[in-house]
Structure 1
């Protein structure tokens, strides 16, 4: 079923888009949200919003959902672009201050009441970086590896460029065993326990995926445990939640949580033990 819209009909709307998507679902046997979530890897809340017209589904969501319902994704993507205000007339130029890779990747110093950074804002910033990277070559520190979750990219390292083609990856995949790490950025972080424990939230735009990393600097890894949990903010008990606990380690990272809805928040919280006593991060880091 193709969502063709005759030229003589009124302009397309998100509500109409959702109604056609619901019709495609019905023509495919009306599978439940739970069934579609298992098939596509998209959360039930995101699917519900798409079918109800509460928001325009992302390209990633459509690429997973439409073929699963037996449809041709190409016309749906074309309609989506036409409905997305970000693709409408834009100023030819924009002056946006650029951050160097060193500034973007530097560990976050402890501070209170920091304004949260949403992934939607992060994606916009990465798009600006993509424009700048076409003319600039920069050096600095970038991406994952090493005890702080970062590695040196060398004197010719370039800013990450958001990909227009999303990578097919599933929740629970290891970020270090995928290409997701190639465009990963440090999206948020915090310290606790007098600054001795650092939690970092990493984000890959090409994979629409988040993972967390926790590192302790108290020199007490031996005989103690380190834990980190990342989860959808609106569904902390989601089956997509990723939890990892290890003993006798200074640093570790979680597996990925794929979240195609850029307006949805993903949070992370860490816990450490010191001589058998457990200390949990007071406030989750949400991006």
Structure 2
């Protein structure tokens, strides 16, 4: 803002805007008797509109995004209201408005200097570009709102934590789901502690294994081809109780086009009960079987 000494004239030159000829606010006469515009809130807001027009009138959302990226965060509503309410916008609104359009901190400083002069000559009430509330009252409102939000968040967090604790306790109190013969071991927790209890490659074409879970007291058999000819061929694998090879607990699997296949599991009810397995593969329709079963 430039003060023309002696004439009592104030000329606002911001952002390279052309000198104004339209009269706004209160006019005073010069030595030559021609009126000059005295800066006012109305003129200030109109110049902000012209600044936006000179930069192609970007959308308010685009301006808010640019301002945020340039370190002057403000909502699109604040930027819109800065030039539509007829009141003097706050420093925040002016800073974000000018930064969004010019990305020039020197221009921002000149606009803020001009605005400060208007505040000094006005009632002192400031408008934040969003609602006609004095800055001091608005600051108190936002402080109260932040406290309310913080309290609500704390209550929600507390309830969430309490709910999780109750859920975990209830879950621990529930008896574990029993594992039964015939289940897919991959769909149970038995795979977590499963170990190879027996294995054989007596037939070099494939590896035969029995896997056993101590936690579940259950086992299953697996056969894995040594070649890479799974496509077009099959794998057969069987697990059974040694005490009843052909009993109802016997589990078998025949899988085509795979490199490895496994059976469903057998739950061992007697610690002395042993599990045994056999396997076979086909290669070009020729069947190769394990020479003998393996047992735990």
Common topology (TM > 0.5): no
TM-score range, shorter chain: 0.3 to 0.5
Greater fraction of residues in helix? 2
Could you state the TM-score of these two structures normalised by the residue count of structure 2?
A: 0.40
- The structure number with the bigger radius of gyration is 2
Could you state the TM-score of these two structures normalised by the residue count of structure 1?
A: 0.41
Identify which of structures 1 and 2 has the higher relative contact order when contacts are C-alpha pairs closer than 8 Å and 6+ apart: 1
